[in-house]
């Protein structure tokens, strides 16, 4: 008998897997903080004999190299990936024995990257699961534009061919176990559902239901901006990531926090957006620890900029630190826990700004204010508030000067990104109101929603 355990990385929208038999197992696309993988192996009572990568990842720093070193496992990486470390190169058709009667077969599935490789788990020669990485996802495929713009169409066509190869070679009942598609921007669209099989994908996935030319046009047209930090992930993974250090950062007092702000460093408040609006260190930014902090902080912060983290508890700080190492923000410059009153110099008071809803916006009226929409382009085309200004959140920090004069009511689709945007605007000295509401409430509140 075999087992497959899923390790969810909810903040990044990815999954890793541990699969094996009675004695040994293989880890697939492990995260940089791989202690959870080790914990699963310990609960199963198995040794990790192999660590495999489906591709050189663009959206997170892998833990594969270090996990293989710690466990003594063989580290399998697609042969076409150019890396600076010793590994076992994997080519199409290669097989390895994971446990008695359990094998892993490599299947070349280019498209997400040119070297992308899927792995089919076989028990006694029968295909029992397919680890598809960034190839065939639930209802979609991995995006083909992260390697090089000139290769996007070529890789999109390869995605179509790779999906068809998997569908042709595997039984309909084979579970499809992708790495991306659960919130990751490496997916060309988000997963519709939590599980799938080859048979289900044959009837629902555009890569398998649409001719290649139509598929390529639709796929490329639907691509949105990729997070800026992706530029740094591939090179870090190809070079060989260093081990993580999750020890607590140095503690900063109010004077040091003020000095770091004065030096132009980023001070990031991890508390929820409601608490931040009610009181915070002037000049600090709000990235909620319970939101997609790794994605959005890494996307917006100038790469390499020192960051100080402010948290309500040591536990919140540790959780955020763990999220951030997954995307290469390794060590905070400093940190503090407690309340805003403890983080501002003696004699100063915390800053604040108001929050509202779309009903509150409708009641106030839009004549004498700026309504700022910070959703992505793909969201705005589905409908937007008449007269609103549009600057996607990931561009706002560099485009603050483009926001018209006046009090700014800022909104997104649900409230989290509006909270981030409000903190950026507030730190820039603007009068801001954070609309903490779902966009689907706008029209019902009496506001005019224009079709994109």
Does the pLDDT value for residue 294 go beyond 90?
A: yes
Tell me which long-range contacts 298-301 makes (C-beta under 8 A, separation of at least 24).
Answer: 298/227, 298/228, 298/229, 298/324, 298/327, 298/328, 298/329, 299/227, 299/228, 299/229, 299/394, 300/228, 300/393, 300/394, 300/396, 300/397, 300/420, 301/266, 301/329
393-427 pLDDT, tens digit each: 999 999 999 999 999 999 999 999 999 999 999 99
Helices (H), 54-102: 64-71
CB neighbour burial string for 186-220, b if at least 16 within 10 angstroms, e if fewer: bbbbbbeeeebbbebbeeebbbbeeeeeebbeebe
Closest CA to 181 of 197, 193, 163: 193
How does pLDDT run across 3-24, given as a tens digit for each residue? 999 999 988 999 999 999 999 9
Q: Is the dihedral of CA 22, 23, 24, 30 positive or negative?
A: positive
Positive or negative, the CA dihedral 412, 220, 78, 21 is: positive
User: How confident is residue 452, by pLDDT bands cut at 50, 70 and 90?
Assistant: confident
Q: What is the pLDDT of residue 51?
A: 98
| 374-385 per-position pLDDT tens digit | 999 999 999 999
Confirm if 277 and 419 have CB atoms less than 8 A apart.
Answer: yes
- Whether the predicted pLDDT of 193 surpasses 80: no
What confidence tens digit (pLDDT) does each residue in 229-279 have?
Answer: 999 999 999 999 999 999 999 999 999 999 999 999 999 999 999 999 999
Predicted local confidence at residue 293, as pLDDT = 94
Q: What is the 8-class DSSP label of residue 268?
A: E
For the chain, what percent of residues have pLDDT higher than 70? 100
| 186, pLDDT greater than 90 | no
- Number of neighbouring beta carbons within 10 Å of residue 58: 25
d(CA 246, CA 263): 25
E strand or H helix at 257: helix 254-262
| Per-residue pLDDT tens over the stretch 347-368 | 999 999 999 999 999 999 999 9
How many whole angstroms separate alpha carbon 355 and alpha carbon 352?
Answer: 10
pLDDT of residue 184: 86
Distance CA(67)–CA(374), nearest Å, equals: 39
Length of the chain: 452
- pTM, entire model: 0.94
Q: Do 16 and 7 form a contact (C-beta atoms < 8 A)? A: yes
What sign does the CA torsion over 360, 366, 382, 293 have?
Answer: negative
User: In 74-169, which residue ranges form alpha helices assigned H by DSSP?
Assistant: 152-169
Q: Which tokens in the block code for residue 310?
A: 């402010």
Question: Each residue of 108-154: pLDDT tens digit?
Answer: 999 999 999 999 999 999 999 999 999 999 999 999 999 999 999 99
Q: Mapping DSSP to helix (H, G, I), strand (E, B) and coil, where does residue 347 land?
A: coil
Question: Looking at the predicted structure, is the pLDDT value of residue 189 above 90?
Answer: no
Residue 103 zone, left/alpha/beta (φ > 0; ψ -120 to 50; rest): beta
Q: How many CB atoms lie within 10 A of CB 419?
A: 26
Average model confidence (pLDDT) across the chain: 96
pLDDT per residue over 142-170, tens digit each? 999 999 999 999 999 999 999 999 999 99
Distance CA 210, CA 206 (A): 5
Residue 18's pLDDT is 98
Q: What is the DSSP string of 357-411?
A: -HHHHHHH-STTSEEEE-S-HHHHTT-EETT-EE--HHHHTT-GGGSPSS-EEEE
């Amino acid at each position: 008998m075999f087992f497959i355990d899923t390790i969810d990385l909810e903040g990044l929208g990815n999954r890793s897997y541990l699969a094996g038999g009675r004695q040994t197992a293989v880890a697939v696309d492990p995260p940089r903080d791989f202690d959870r993988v080790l914990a699963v192996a310990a609960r199963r009572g198995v040794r990790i004999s192999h660590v495999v990568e489906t591709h050189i990842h663009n959206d997170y720093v892998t833990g594969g190299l270090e996990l293989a070193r710690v466990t003594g496992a063989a580290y399998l990486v697609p042969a076409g990936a150019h890396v600076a470390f010793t590994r076992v190169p994997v080519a199409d058709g290669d097989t390895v024995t994971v446990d008695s009667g359990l094998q892993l077969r490599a299947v070349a599935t280019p498209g997400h990257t040119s070297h992308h490789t899927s792995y089919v788990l076989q028990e006694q020669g029968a295909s029992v699961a397919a680890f598809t990485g960034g190839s065939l996802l639930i209802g979609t495929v991995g995006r083909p534009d992260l390697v090089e713009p000139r290769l996007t169409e070529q890789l999109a066509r390869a995605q179509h061919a790779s999906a068809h190869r998997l569908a042709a070679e595997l039984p309909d009942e084979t579970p499809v176990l992708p790495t991306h598609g659960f919130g990751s921007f490496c997916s060309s669209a988000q997963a519709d559902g939590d599980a799938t099989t080859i048979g289900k994908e044959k009837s629902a996935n555009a890569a398998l239901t649409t001719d290649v030319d139509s598929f390529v046009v639709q796929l490329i047209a639907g691509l949105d901006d990729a997070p800026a930090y992706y530029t740094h992930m591939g090179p870090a993974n190809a070079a060989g990531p260093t081990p993580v250090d999750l020890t607590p950062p140095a503690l900063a007092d109010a004077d040091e926090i003020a000095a770091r702000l004065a030096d132009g460093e980023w001070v990031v408040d991890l508390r929820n957006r409601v608490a931040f609006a009610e009181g915070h260190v002037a000049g600090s930014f709000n990235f909620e620890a319970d939101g997609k902090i790794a994605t959005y902080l890494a996307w917006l912060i100038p790469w390499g900029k020192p960051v100080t983290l402010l948290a309500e508890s040591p536990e919140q700080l540790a959780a955020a630190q763990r999220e951030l190492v997954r995307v290469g923000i390794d060590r905070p410059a400093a940190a503090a826990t407690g309340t805003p009153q403890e983080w501002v110099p003696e004699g100063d008071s915390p800053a604040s700004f108001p929050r509202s809803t779309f009903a509150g916006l409708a009641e106030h009226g839009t004549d004498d204010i700026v309504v700022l929409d910070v959703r992505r382009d793909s969201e705005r085309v589905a409908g937007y508030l008449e007269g609103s200004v549009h600057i996607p959140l990931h561009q706002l920090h560099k485009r603050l000067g483009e926001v018209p004069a006046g009090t700014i009511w800022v909104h997104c689709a649900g409230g989290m990104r509006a909270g981030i945007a409000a903190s950026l605007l507030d730190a820039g000295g603007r009068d801001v109101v954070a609309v903490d509401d779902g966009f689907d409430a706008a029209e019902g509140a009496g506001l005019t929603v224009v079709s994109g």
